[in-house]
Each structure stands twice: as structure tokens, then as C-alpha cells.
Homo-oligomer: A and B are copies of this chain.
Amino acid sequence: MGVDTVDIASRVKALRKKNGWRLHDLSEKTGISVATLSKLENGKTKLNFTTVNKLAQGIGVAVTNLTSPGLAHTKDTTMTLGGGGVVFETRDVDYEVLCADYKGGNQGYAKLSVKARTLDPNLPWHRHPGKEFIYVLKGILVLHTEDREPITLKRGDSLLFDSSIGHHYISAGRGETQLLLSLSLQGYSNVIETLREN
């Protein structure tokens, strides 16, 4: 459903009151006329796209803060106890998908155990849409990518990159290398599918 400007009304008014701004003040900050702001807060008009952006920019918050939808968010909660995730293995990495049963998310979380210890130059790069965040739980990780020097991470380090860049994980330390991975996709793709396919 399209986000309705009506939702913004109460949020804007609350923000304005909280900061002690008059409509006039908000008008100066945003470049939107006092009349329009009044009508907005009272649900007597809806805002232009550019005007909504002026509003958010003027106040200094993100647009989501105004629309604050909470919509399309399932009210479910799901939990995965240690070791209880959905496991699947590839040649180089073992995956344990966490909270896999959560509905309607366009992102996924997994705990990875990296087995590969050398970069096989014949293997194609891992490459998929989305952004990948990793946090090293244990061991030493080397991230090889197609467009830059390898990056070495140790326990407690984190990294965020575009997964469409070809990449490979290699374990470097003496012991096991474990990562926590968060993969975020745009649109409605299935995150687990994406992991499996690469």
C-alpha cells in the first residue's frame, strides 16, 4: 500500500511540539508555507513528494521517521538457539541460517564456518544482489574480491560490501573461522535461495 501522508501528520506535530517550534519556525526550516504545514497537521492536505523531502530535510530526519510505517512488518518473533539453525554445506563454507522462519523479510542472517584455506583461481566468484555485512566471531578471515586487494579481518572486525562484487571467503588463522553474516536484498528475493545458489 502506498504510504499515506496522513501518517505523517501526527508525527510532524509531535516533533514540532517536542522541539518547541511554531509553524512559522518549521516553515523557515523547511521552506514550506505555514498554511500548508497547518493543513498537513490537520489532515486537510497531502504533501507533494518534493515537499515531503523538504520537510524531512528541514527537520533533519529521514523520511521514514515521518512516515514511520510499521506497515508490512509482521508482528512475529522468531528465535534460533545456538546451533539450532537451518544448516547447509557447500565446498568452501558451512552455513547455519538463523531465524530462517521469519516471514516477509528481505534479509537473512547466517552463521558461517569458513572451510576454504586457499583461493582456487578456477572457481567463479560469488556474486549476488544485495549487501553483505559480516562480523568475525572467531578466527581470521581473508576476503578476496575481484576488484581490490584481499582484506584481512580478525575477531571483532566487521565489514560491509556490495555482494554484486565478486568475492570469496578464505580462512587464514590456525583454528576455525566463524562469521556472522547479514545479507540484505532489495525487492522480494528469497535470501536463503540466494545463499544456496552461490
Contact = CB atoms under 8 A, between A and B. Distances in A.
- State the copy count for this chain: 2
A145 B75 CA distance: 12
A51 B193 CA distance: 21
Nearest to A155: B82
A18 to B, nearest CB: 10
Interface residues of A, number: 82
B188 A5 contact: no
A160 B109 CA distance: 9
A99 B49 contact: no
Interface of A: 1-5, 31, 46-54, 57, 60-65, 67-83, 85, 98-99, 102, 105-107, 109, 128-131, 133, 135, 137, 145, 147-148, 151, 153-162, 164-165, 180, 182, 184-190, 193-194, 197
Given A63-B63, A79-B159, 18 more contacts: A3-B187, A61-B187, A61-B193, A62-B190, A62-B194, A64-B190, A65-B197, A68-B129, A69-B186, A77-B162, A80-B159, A81-B157, A98-B133, A98-B135, A105-B160, A107-B107, A180-B180, A184-B184
